Structures are given as structure tokens and as C-alpha cells.
Structure 1
Amino acid sequence: MGGVCLNTQWLRIVSALALLLTSTILALPGSGSRAFASQLPYETYYKDGFGQLVKTQAAYLPAGVLGYNLATADAAAVSSGTTATTKLPLNQPKDLFVDEQDNIYIADTGNNRIVQLDSTGQFVRELTVPDSPLKKPSGVFVNKEGNIYVADTGNNRVVTLDAQGRLLKSLDRPKSSYLPASFKYDPINLIVDKRGFIYVTTLGAYQGLVELDPDGNFIGFFGPNRVKFSVFDSFKRFVYTREMYQRELKKLPGAIANSTIDREGFIYTVTKEIQTNQIKKLNIAGLDQLPGKSDFASLQSGRSFGELLHWQRDLSPQLNDITVDNDGNITVVDSIWNTISQYDRSGNLLFFWSSDTITATSKTGVVKTPAAIANNSKNELLILDGTNNLIQVLRPSAFGSLVHEANALTQEGKYVESEPLWNEVRRLNAQYSPALIGLAKAAYKQEDYQRAQQLFYEAGVIGGYSESFWQNRLAWFQRHFGLFMNIVIAVGVVLLLWGKLKHRLRFASGWSLPVPSEHSLASRLRHLFVLIKQPVDGFYSIRYEGKASLASSLIILAAAIAAFGYMEAGTSFVFNPKVQIGIDLVPLTVQFIGIWVGWVVSNYLISSLLRGEGRFKDVLYGSSYALFPIILIGIPVTLLSRAMTLDELSIFHFLKLAIVLWTALLFIWMVQGIHNYTFIEAIFVIVLSLIALTIIVILIFILISLSNELINFINSLYQEVIIR
């Protein structure tokens, strides 16, 4: 009996410990989501404005598959009054639409019909329009009244049906003198606004969406993409004759691939064949509302949509459909990498994810070929798989819903209300930048500018950091203005008194500054200030009067390299955002030294061929002294940048430009003074020297490449001998 009791007690202890361990694991934040996320067929990421990749909790979870078991009423059964059905699965579906009651409409292209499912995915009906049969329908749209609009691609028309599926209108190619005769009218998608105006996406139409009034009359082209105009195009336009220009291949903008419309009436388009601005949010006037709205807009001169992982860089994303949820979040699908990217209403990235479609094409949540995407009222994503002929349903995860709720409040300007939610998001994922941005905006709203500045810096948001810094700078000046003015007055008085009394003090004491030897190191370093007043004569003195030496030149060169490194790494985050992620000075220093050495060699060789009088050491000395503006202006400008905001951006750029221009002029005067050229001759020699420098760089790259090939060849021979 004692043994039985002992075993029973031991069993109870073990059970209690197991229960405690299980409860502890389940209580850990995000433990359940992590366990489930490990079973997902895809991984979710976020990418900030610097391109840094962050793995996040899943934003969406697989919730089911629809459309794989569709049934349709048998024609013979209908005529006999029975309810028998036959299986007719989807065949190459092209489009998907969800109405306000969550009814699902599918453009079943291969079966020449429109299929309607209810909110649970059960078959409701099919629409084939017996009065005027559909042929390869590729797009479908349903308005609030229940009228159904179909892009009947095979018949080159737009069909309008009532809620019962009866034919209302058949809108063929619009007749208008403003529509070019060569325009090919192949509707593949369409949307309808509140006025009943129809916006048709036509296959390959680079002119934009075809806008029709409710009666099908042509209004114009809406929201076209613009042709990117390069410097080379400007050169051709300036140089080419009219005949030569007409023979050039026309440079056309990308054709819109798909479109959608939100509740507020904004029209969204996606384009495949362009590298930037693939997504546009157009108002009624056709103006894009996304440029400049992103938190990282200052880092992205040309905003690119459709996210890629680092190993996917060999092919650009090809966005083929777009949807907008109730919160204004924009979701697009990439037909190349099967990647789903989601942005908020301002174009800020929230999440993106993709799955391995090669090894797991039949898994729930995995899309082989994303043909279309839509949202329902529960903010679930419905993705139409054009290869597997079904719909994958993804529901927001707890983490995704939390981010959406917090971001919606932030987008509406309710920063304080969003703060607790963003704190929870940050607790779950400390590296998720939107949480930092949301908290920074909340801190700024509550006038906690110190915290806002720090959070904006951590998130890498220049605009918010600059505004917060401006507020902190203003507060600092207000607190220290009196002390600052007293110091200025005291310094002014001291300088005034010194100006009046310095001669008397020197005369009375008999003291004077020591005069350095003409050929001392100090004297040669002081020669820099001669170059400021008389640059040509100063460089002439370096050549003919020995005003420079190897020691002074190397000191100036080392100081210039150090100043250049300080400018790259010490400039304020406002003007050099890369300091936030760290700057590797080693390659920059090597490039600086390499270009400088290459310049010295190439200029000496070219000037030797063109009666230049300078020796190699003169070119070396002069090229070192010509770097003086980097030291004289670069260091103060870098220090000053720490007290400047984006409002002073033009001042900062002007000072940086002054460094470049002054340095360039000193090199011109150096070539002119050392080699005894005229100003025009000096410029000509500099151009030739730069060409020679370019050739030297190319030859070095070729030599390195051939050396690597030789090393690989020798290594392969060695391996072959060892194996045999």
C-alpha cells in the first residue's frame, strides 16, 4: 500500500509539473502564433526604406479553398423540373470580384461564363447570357444595385446585366474621332464609379484606361503612364534630324494591367512593364495621390512597388492585379514570383510574403499562378489561382489585425489612440518599423519631441526626425538664448579690445610671432593660404620655388582623406540617412585614394606628351594641395549639418557644391600653374587625363578578371590531377 501511495503522489507531481510547463509555454507572447507559423507554406517579411529585411509574424493565415467543387444545374434536369447537377470546374479563370454582401463573382474564361458563389463559397448560379453568349470573358464588376458588368474579351465588348442576369446593354468598340483607328479594343478588365462611368482596361493599351459614359460613349483615356525621358533621349532630340528621329523605335509607356476602385472613388491601377510607380492611386482628375506620401519618400526618388527577396533580383516584379480593403490597404500580386505585397493607403509597406510553388502546389494557402485578388467585408484576401482553378482564402492573423487596426488609426490622425496598439505590436516584434513610426507620431502629437526624434531615427524616417529636431532646436535656443547672446557680446568686446591694444602690448613687451624658415614644414603648410588668394601663382611657386614637399603633401592628403571620411560618416542623419544603418569607410577610402593616385599618374603621362613642364613630384604635390577645400569647408559643413533641418537643405547643398566647385577650380589652376598652360589648355589636358584615368580603371578591371580566370583554371587543373 505504501508503494502504491508513493507512486500515486509521484504521478500527481509529474502531472502538475507538466501542466505548469504547458501553461508557461502557452503564456509566452506569440508562442502559439510561432508554432502555427512554422507550419505555414510561406514566410512573411517587412522591408524598410533602406532595403533592410525583417521577418515578421504571419499577417494572413490560410482559411480554406473555394471553387474546386463547383456544380451547375443540368439542362435536362432543369427542363424536367428536378434539381440534378453536374460538375463543371473552373477553367482558366481570369478575374474575381466580391460585392458588398460578400458574394463572389468569377470570370470563368475557359467556360465562357460568369460564376457566382455565396459568401461561404457555395455555388449560386452561372451567367452565360444566352441572348448574346459570352466569349472568353476576362473581367467582372458588380455595382451597388447588383448590375453586373463583364469585359467580354472574345467579343471585343462590354456587357451589362441586371441583378437577375438579363442582358441590359452590349457596348461594342466606342465610335469617336478621338479614338485612333489603329487602337485595338480588347477589354480584359473594368471598373465602374458611382456615376456609372466605366473604366475599361484593354489589352496592351499604353494610352491608359478607356473611360466610357453609362451609354458607352467614349470620354477619353484615363490615368496613362508616362514615358521615362533620359539624358540620352534629350541628346538624340537635339542632334538627330527629323528623318532620323522618325526612324527611331517609338518609346511607349507601360500598358495598365489591371485596376480597382475603393469606396471613396479613388481608382487604382497596376502596370507590369515599368520599374517604378507600378501602383497609382488616381483621383477623379487622373492625378496620382501616392508620390511623396510614404514615410520613406525622401529615400526613394523613384518608388518601386512589388517587393522582392534578395535572391529574386534577376527578374523584376510583374504586378497583375490589385485590391483595396475597408481600411484603404492596397494589396497586389506578382505573377512572376507569386509574391503578395500589402501597402497602406499612403503607399507604406506593411507586409509581403511568397511561397514555394514548385514543391507545394496543392497546399492550402499556396497559389501556383495568381490571376486575380479581392477583399471581402471581413478583410480576408481571396486569391484566384489560374492554374489550379480555385480560390485560396487568407484571413488576417491576430498580428496582422493588430497592425491594421493600429495603422488605420495612425492614417486617420488618431495618433494617441493608436499608441497602445503600436506598443503591443512593438512588444511582439521589436524590429517592425511601422510600430516605431506609429509611436513616434504619437509622441510628436503629445509634444514629446525628444522621444519622437529618437523613434524616428530608429525607424529611419527623415521627415519626422527633422521636424522633431526642429522643435528640440527651437526649445534649446529659447532656453539658452540669454547665455548665447552674453557669450557673443563678450567675444565681441574681447576682439574689439584686442584690436586696439595688441600693437601697444607687442611694442611694450617686445614679443612677436616667430617667423618659420622658408623651407620648413610649417612654412610649406602655410602655403595653403597663398593658394586661397593667388592659386595660379601659388601652384607656380610649388613647381619653381619649392614651396611644397613630400611630407607636407602627405600630411595634407591624409587630412583630406580623414575629412572625406568624416563627411561621409559624420554628416547628420537628415542629410545622410545611411548613417542610421552604418557606413563602411574602408571601400570609400580605397576608392578615394585609388582615384587620386590614378589622376596623378594619368595627368603626368598626358602632360608629358603635351609639353607640360611639371615633374611627377610636382603633380603629386599640387594634387594634394588642391584637396584643401575638403578640409577647410568639409569639416565645418559636416559639423553644421548636425544643427540643420530639412528646411536648410538648400544651404547644405550649396555648401557641398562650393566644395566641389572650388576643388575643381584648384585642379584646373594646378594644371595651369605647374605645367605652364593657359586656362583653356589646362581644361583640355584635364579632359584627356580623365579619359586616360577611365582607360586605366578599365584595364585594371580586365586584369583582375583575367587573373581570377587564370587562378580558377590553375585550381581546376590541380583538382583534376589530385582526383586522378
Structure 2
Amino acid sequence: MLRRIRRGRASLLIALCCILGASLGGTLVQAEDGTAASYNYSFWGDTVASPAAYQATALLSGPDLGVGPFKEPNDIHVTKDKQIYVLDSGNNRIVILDERFKPVATIDSFDRDGQADKFQNPQGLFVTEEKHVIVADTGNKRVVHLDQHIKLVKIVEAPESELLQAHFQFQPVRVVMDEAQRIYAMATGIFDGFMEFNADGAFTSFIGANRVYVDPVEYLWKRLSTRAQRSQMVMFTPTEFTNLDIDDEGFIYATNGDLWGDNIKKLNAQGNDILRRTGYFNPQGDVRYTPEAGPSRLVDIDVADSEMYSVLDSKRGRVFTYSGDGHFMYVFGGIGNQLGEFNTPAAIERVGDDFLVLDKALGEITVFQTTAYGRTLNEAVRSYYSGEEEEAFQLFNQTINMNANLEFAYAGIGKSLLRQGDYDEAMKHFKRSMDQPNYSKAFLLFRKQVMREHFATIMTVIVVLAACALLLRNYRKTSVRKRGVSIEQRVD
């Protein structure tokens, strides 16, 4: 009877474990293709659970804000003093809000030679630190530059250049401006990169063209085909960019629709990609996905302080954030009907540490605020970036206490320990995070440290061993000679 009870308990325990395993497995699948869950990726590419770094706290529509319904808004920008500019494309206007989401002003026209000029289906918006407003006025095929008083500074229209095709149609859809008032525009149908205009509005060059990635099988087939067959094939052309942003140092961060290459780039003044990719996987959105769903389609990028940046995946509605070294920090968002999910996400922006996500189809703005975990992780990355080793060490330890699956945090602790000179402990954390290059660096420094600290002892031992070896050698020679002499005497 007792055995039957024990067997029943064992069967019940096994059943509960199976149910728990199935539920955990369902969570991992959901993190790959279903509605968004908070997750991260291990060194081996497995989806692992993670605490939520952000949570949706508000959903704002035009009527809620007192500015009337938004109609297919396409872009959003936040200034240093936290003023929010919403590009309401369908209504051909720009709505300005303060940090409390109270209406400040609306820009629906500007004065041009004494007459009111209006936008037509604008797609892109950028605001400088001096509150100059740069608009990609797509329907009017121009870029409009207004000053902080909404006075016209200049209009950039279709440029004339030998670099452009004869029948080129200038349709800018995204714009940014650097401190030298150079405008970088992303235009429809342009595969040569971003169009660069100087402070006077003259076109100068293209910058940052994507590389062409060719399928070897398709290339071989094209080489063997006839001219008529080749004319029906798709040409090998670079992919178009999908969005761009610019940081305080003038580096352009860009996303593109490349499925095989790097779909996130950081471009310097020469147009070279200098994005650091030292994480377990290159920054690209989702690493794991089903063939039916396909990879992430990144449509916007936002650059924060300390080289952190976030990208928006329109396919699954997720926002991915990376450190300057390319480590995946956290993800939030999704496609759906609940708070924190979207229908057609179009743009993202930060207000301090909070996020704003613009939904084009619904004409709504979702506000995301940090959790304790998200705030701690953000501050840890900032402290490491600014060289505050002790504070970074403590903050990364706090993140590990909240999320043991965040493997790159162990590398952050290791780097902090490395800077503090604790090479032995740094090696242990680098081993935990599978960071082989930094482990090797810590090992070499640890070896030098050991040699330096124990040099006198090591040299003393070496000298003593050498002296002992020399004495032993002389003793053996002397012994051999004595034995030889004694044998000769016996023979005599």
C-alpha cells in the first residue's frame, strides 16, 4: 500500500514537471514569433527569460491631447528640453507638445515671399538643438528648413548633378542635420546612400551606400543565361536605407532592409561603417525566427546618450536596445490590441529614459517607462561608458541579481574589475560571459602581475635551484673521480 502511494506521488510529480516544462517551452516560442515577451539571447543563441525593462503606462491619441485626430503620422522627434514634435502626415501639420504632453503649437504653414506655403504629405522630421525644424516635404518633392521662430531659412529642391540620373525624381522621406547645418536626406529610389547637402542647400555627394550581396547560385545562373533571360532577371542592386538618426558627435546611425548583411550601421564623415559589434550576435533585431516569419524589418532608429541605441521592428512591433559595444540589452513591445502593442509601428523616440512609440495606422502614441531593472541596466551601461568603474561594478552586480541570464553583464563586471586591476576576479567573470578576447587580456595581465609581485621569490628559487644543480653536478663529478682512483688502486 505504501509503495502504491509513493508511486502515485512520483507520477504526480512527473506530470507537474511536464506541465511546467511545456509552459516554459511555450514562453520561449512566444518570444520568438508571438506577442512580445521580455527575453534575451544566450551565448549559444537560445532564448532566455528576462525581467521587463520597460512597461507601457499610457496610450495617447490626438483627441486625448486636444489637437484633433492624427491621420497616418509618420515621424516623431524630441528635443533636449523634452519638447515633442509629431509629424501628422495625413493632416499636413506638425504638432508640438511639452514634456507633459500639453499642446504648445501647431505648424501647418510658413511664410514664403509673403504667401502662406503648406506641406504636402511630409514623411520625415528633424529638430536641432536650436529648435530649427527640418521637414522632408515628400509630396512637394523638397526639404524645408525653418528656424526656431518658424521662419523660412531655405528650401532644398531637386538637385542637378552628374551623379544623378536624367529622370531623377527627388522624393525625400527622412532627414537629419548636423552642427555644420549639412542636411542628410533619405530619398525614395536612391540606392547610392544618403544625399548630402551643404549649408547653402547645394547637393554635394552621396554617403554610406550599402554593399551588394549576391547569391552565388543566382549569379552563376545569370552568367550562363542568354541575354533575353538576363533581361527578365532581378538586377543586383544595393538595398535602400529605411531610416537614420544622428548623435551629438555627428555620426549617422542608419537602418536598412538588408536580409544578409548588417542592417544597422554607424557612418562616419567618410561614409564608413564603424559600428562596434562585439556582442554574441550582430545587432539585427530578432536572432531566432521561423522561416515563415523571417527576420526583423527595422524601420527606425533612435540614438541615446552613452552610445546606446534602439531600433524598431515593424514586422513584430518590437523595440530592441543595444549598448555601444553591440550587446543586446532588452526588448519590449509587440503586435496586438493590448496596451504596449501596436498595429503599424512607424517611429520611436526617447523622452529622458522613457520611450514614445508612434503607431501610424491607429494615430496613437504609446508611452513606455522604465522598470527598476531597466533603470539599473541603463545606469550600469552609462557608468561603464563614462569610466566610473566602481559604480559600474555595483550596478552590474545589481542587474545580475535581478537577471542571472544577462550574460554580458558579467563581462561588464569583468571590464570594471580589469580597469581596477583585479585581474584574477576579472578572468572568472569573463569566463562566465564567454568573453574570450577579454579573458585572454586579463590572463596576460594577471600573469604579469604575479611575476611582478613574486619576482624576488621566483628569482631566489631559480638561483637556489641553479646552485643546487651546480653543486650536485660537481658532487657527481667528484664522486666519479674518486671511484675511478679507488678502482685503479685496487688493480695495482
Shorter-chain TM-score above 0.5: yes
Q: Evaluate the alpha carbon distance shift between residue 431 and residue 349 of structure 1 in structure 2; reply closer, same or farther with a 3 A threshold.
A: same
Post-superposition offset of 1:90: 0.2
- Deviation of 1:379 after TM superposition, in Å, equals 2.0
> Which blocks of at least 5 consecutive residues in structure 1 are unaligned?
1-40, 73-86, 495-724
What's the TM-score once normalised by structure 2's chain length?
0.78
The question of 1:451 aligning with 2:425 is answered: yes
Give the 5 Å matches for 1:325-364: 325-357=304-336, 361=337, 363-364=338-339
After superposition, residues 10-159 of structure 1 pair within 5 angstroms as 42-69=36-63, 88-129=68-109, 131-159=116-144
Structure whose CA Rg is larger: 1
1:455 aligned counterpart, secondary structure: helix
Cα shift at 1:156: 1.0
Q: 1:352 to 1:483 in 2, by over 3 A?
A: farther
Matched-pair identity in %: 29
Distance change >3 Å, CA 212–CA 286, structure 1 → 2: same
User: 5 Å matches for 1:563-642?
Assistant: none
Give the superposition deviation at 1:433. Answer: 1.3
Partners of 1:277 and 1:125 in 2: CA distance: 39
Counterpart Cα distance in 2 of 1:351 and 1:432: 10
Q: Contact between 2:53 and 2:374, CA under 8 Å: does it hold in 1? A: yes
- In the other structure, the counterpart of 1:209 is 194
> What does residue 8 of structure 2 align with?
none
> Any residues of structure 2 matched to 1:509-548 within 5 Å, and which?
none
Q: Distance in 1 between matches of 2:217 and 2:163?
A: 32
Cα distance in structure 1, aligned partners of 2:45 and 2:53? 20
**In 2, Cα distance between the equivalents of 1:158 and 1:484?**
79
Indicate yes or no: 2:316 matched with 1:316: no
One-letter code aligned to 2:52 = A
What's the CA shift for 1:240?
A: 6.4
Change (3 A) 1:370 1:484: farther
Is this contact kept in 2: 1:140–1:149, CA < 8 A? Answer: yes
User: 1:382 and 2:352 equivalent?
Assistant: no
Contact in 2 for aligned 1:275/1:316 (Cα 8 Å)? no
4+ long deviations beyond 4 Å: 229-237, 239-248, 308-313, 472-487
Which of 262, 275, 294 in structure 1 is aligned with 2:278?
A: 294
Contact 1:129–1:167 (8 Å) recurs in 2: no
User: Any conservation in 2 of the 1:326–1:379 contact (CA below 8 Å)?
Assistant: no
The one-letter code sitting in structure 1 at the alignment partner of 2:340 is G
One-letter amino acid matched to 2:374: G
Distance change in 2, residues 1:311/1:251 (3 Å): closer
User: How far apart, CA to CA, are the structure 2 residues paired with 1:313 and 1:304?
Assistant: 21
CA distance in 2, matches of 1:428, 1:211: 45
Give the superposition deviation at 1:308.
Answer: 4.8
Shift of 1:383: 0.6
Equivalent residue pairs, number = 426
Question: Cα deviations across residues 232-287 of structure 1 (Å, max 9, x unaligned)?
Answer: 588689x7699799756421111011001112221110012333311111122222
**Quick one: structure 1 residues 152 and 446, their matched pair in 2 at CA, closer, same or farther if it must change by over 3 Å?**
same
Which is richer in strand? Answer: 2
Q: Is 2:351 the counterpart of 1:371?
A: no
Mapped to 2, the partners of 1:423 and 1:70 lie a distance apart of 41
Equivalent residues in 2 for 1:414-453, closer than 5 Å: 414-453=388-427
Instruction: Tell me how far 1:475 sits from its aligned partner.
Output: 6.1
TM-score, normalised to structure 1, is 0.54
Are 1:384 and 1:391, in contact at CA under 8 Å, matched by a contact in 2?
yes
**1:151-230 aligned within 5 A:** 151-229=136-214
Per the TM alignment, residue 158 of structure 1 is displaced from its structure 2 partner at its CA by: 0.7
Deviation at 1:187, TM superposition (A): 0.7
- Cα separation, 1, equivalents of 2:206 and 2:39: 37
Corresponding residue to 1:282 among 256, 263, 267: 267
Structure-2 separation of matches of 1:185 and 1:250:
22
Change (3 A) 1:173 1:486: farther
- Given candidates 235, 241, 244, the residue that maps to 1:259 is 244
**Structure 2: unaligned runs, 5 residues or longer:** 1-34, 111-115, 474-492
1:336–1:234 distance in 2 versus 1, CA, 3 Å: closer
For the structure 1 residues 295 and 393, does the alpha-carbon distance in structure 2 shift closer, same or farther, using more than 3 Å as the test?
same
How much does 1:229 deviate? 4.8
Which residue identity is paired with 1:373? Answer: I
Q: Which residue in 2 is equivalent to 1:650?
A: none
Deviation at 1:196, TM superposition (A): 0.5
Conserved 8 A contact 2:213-2:260: no
What amino acid sits opposite 1:425 in the alignment? T
Superposition deviation, residue 42 in structure 1: 4.9
Determine which structure has greater relative contact order: mean sequence separation of CA pairs < 8 Å that are 6+ residues apart, divided by chain length: 2
SS in 1 for 2:299: strand
Q: CA RMSD in A?
A: 3.2
